[in-house]
Amino acid sequence: MKKRLLALALCAMMLLVGSVALAAQENPNVGLGIFPGTTEPGTIYVDAATQDIMDPIKQSYSNEFSINRHIWDCLVKLSVDDNSIVPAAAESWESSEDGMTWTFHLRPGMKWVDSTGAVIGDVTANDFVFAWSELLNPANACSYANYGEVFKNGKAYYDYASGVEGAPEVTLDQVGFHAVDDLTLVCELENYLPYFLQYVKFEVMAPIYEPFYTEVGADNYGTTPENLAFNGAFYMTEYVLEDHVTVVRNPEWWDADNVEVQKIVFKKFTDSNAKLNAFLGGEMDVIDLADGTQRATVRAYGYDTPSYAGGYSFFFWSNCDPNSGRDISNVNLRKAISAAIDRTELVNTVYKNDNLPSPSIAFGINGLTNPNGSFGDAVLAANNGEPLYSATSEPEKAQEYLAAALEELGKTADQIDITIMVSEGTTNELVAQVVQEQIRKTLGIEMKAEILTQAEWRARRKAHDFDICHGGWGPDYNDPMTDMDLFETGGGNNHCAYSNPEYDELLAKARVELDTATREQLFVQMEQIVARDAVVIPTFWQYVDYAVSEKIAGGYNRFPFQDLNFIYAKLAD
């Protein structure tokens, strides 16, 4: 087996989209004396909206992963400087020639600590094996159990253990992760995965200290800080449900010397105005801003606010099922709506911020041939530099499509029946009203709007029981596949019920293609087909504005796949 270190090569590969930031952020506001931040020395208050579950293997929201990142070390992690894969619990690793077997060498001397910071044990390779076994344990019903299925026999074991009918017997020790000794971990893969390290980096793959876990019991693990053990840069001391999580610097952590922050409070807000007030009043250090009006409020004090892209692409899912009997399943009608929508005005009225009218679907993904650029650039280049979707309204084009659609449907414009399914929330309702009015003005179609609770909205979307509905889609891993497999016939996330053999064939090819340039072209073609058939009606690529108090001088960054990372934050003097 020829050993090769991949860390460096991957560093180059996993560079950020668009803005290539090669170092952590600096806060340009430091010293202005406008928003000095919270008063408690060494402590920062950071906005984190979802903190429902603290058992790492059961987490499922990006804010939960953000807290997770601060208190546990996975084998590898993303660099705060450039979002590339860097060593964490594993100090080095190598893969076999065929890329199917990976060996990780753990850092010696790492310790487990409890919620008082007391050392309770050593971190060993078994802690990972144990955590991943628990991830695949059906009794835990982990949402991200499918991340354990990348390992050899992972899916077979999960299905067998879950009692899926006809699943052959597979035992846990047949699954492809093994501790060779205390510091060596070997992983075997089920399929070839060029982005395997992105899986190992994923926060639900954090280790669990077996003796401690067994002692508190699987059901109690994570319910309180006392019921958790930590191996990361911080350890948790307080967990008030729906309010805040407090983590304190862990002096036992292997890189503790470089950690300047003594304590981080992850605070949850449900009211965005209250959150802004808390920041302005010096009770928060980092907050996300709800919209351009809030941003303008902060900037009015002469204070600069940065923005970042988490890779979320927003669009209207549309029901493409020709058997649904819905008007919207007519492709020309969808194209008419897509052409009629004025994406720039939508962003300017509802958001008033840096959101970008979508040129294409996939966002936040690095280019394959040019890892320093984005996949979106490749799509743009293939379309002669023209976006696939116009940023402004194209009324003539829309009328042409509408005429064709009306002829095919045998209806007049006022007979067209389209309902926008809206999930509750001020912003969602504003988006619906803007589109409603734009379509009424340009096409003369009166769309209805139906507001539902999130739970019903999701269930109806899954059941394809809607005409169009607006939502965002964020990437799971840094490869165009994460977005492009959305429209596969029968796919679990194919809410559009889109089915096109030509598209499925391209997708199948992309799964086995080894040549990056060819693979990229396949994805570009898929983007073009999605646009041609107006499978979804894109609206914008999301940019989130946020504000950082002068207490934090730098050392943080916000990227797709790691939206909060304040481990190495530098405090102003």
Which residues 426-485 are close enough to bind another protein by CB under 8 A? Answer: 426, 429-430, 432-434, 436-437, 440, 448-460, 462, 471, 476
Interactions with another protein, residue window 36-55 (CB under 8 A): 52-53, 55
Distance CA 201, CA 317 (A): 30
The contacts of residue 325 (CB under 8 Å, 6+ apart) are none
Q: Min. distance of Cβ 505 from another protein in angstroms?
A: 22
Q: Are the beta carbons of 214 and 135 closer than 8 angstroms?
A: no
What radius of gyration do the chain's Cα atoms show? Answer: 25
Of 10, 170, 296, 572, which one interacts with another protein (CB under 8 A)?
296
**Exposed, middle or buried, 496 (CB in 10 Å: 0-12/13-18/19+)?**
buried
Interactions with another protein, residue window 485-504 (CB under 8 A): 491-493
Nearer to another protein, 192 or 301 (CB): 301
Instruction: Check binding of 164 to another protein (CB under 8 A).
Output: yes
Of 8, 22, 118, 241, which one interacts with another protein (CB under 8 A)?
241
Q: Min. distance of Cβ 143 from another protein in angstroms?
A: 6
Q: Are the beta carbons of 41 and 552 closer than 8 angstroms?
A: no
Instruction: Check binding of 132 to another protein (CB under 8 A).
Output: no
Q: Min. distance of Cβ 446 from another protein in angstroms?
A: 10
Of 277, 392, 489, 518, which one interacts with another protein (CB under 8 A)?
277
Nearer to another protein, 250 or 318 (CB): 318
**Exposed, middle or buried, 301 (CB in 10 Å: 0-12/13-18/19+)?**
exposed
Interactions with another protein, residue window 207-236 (CB under 8 A): 219, 222-223
Q: Which span (273-281, 315-323, 523-531, 559-567) binds another protein, by CB under 8 A?
A: 273-281
Amino acid sitting at position 31? G
Q: Which span (2-10, 133-141, 251-259, 513-521) binds another protein, by CB under 8 A?
A: 133-141
Q: Are the beta carbons of 445 and 474 closer than 8 angstroms?
A: no
Neighbours of 252 (CB within 10 A): 17
Distance CA 409, CA 396 (A): 20
Interactions with another protein, residue window 374-393 (CB under 8 A): none
The 79-118 contact track toward another protein, x by CB under 8 A, reads ----------------------------------------
- Beta strands in 268-406, from DSSP E residues, in sequence order: 286-288, 307-308, 313-318, 356-357
Q: Min. distance of Cβ 278 from another protein in angstroms?
A: 5
Q: Min. distance of Cβ 509 from another protein in angstroms?
A: 23
Interactions with another protein, residue window 181-200 (CB under 8 A): none
Instruction: Give the DSSP per-residue string, 203-232.
Output: GGG----HHHHHHH-TTTTTSSGGG--B-S
Amino acid sitting at position 48? A
Q: How far is CA 43 from the centre of its chain?
A: 27
Interactions with another protein, residue window 318-357 (CB under 8 A): 345, 348-350
Q: Min. distance of Cβ 85 from another protein in angstroms?
A: 23
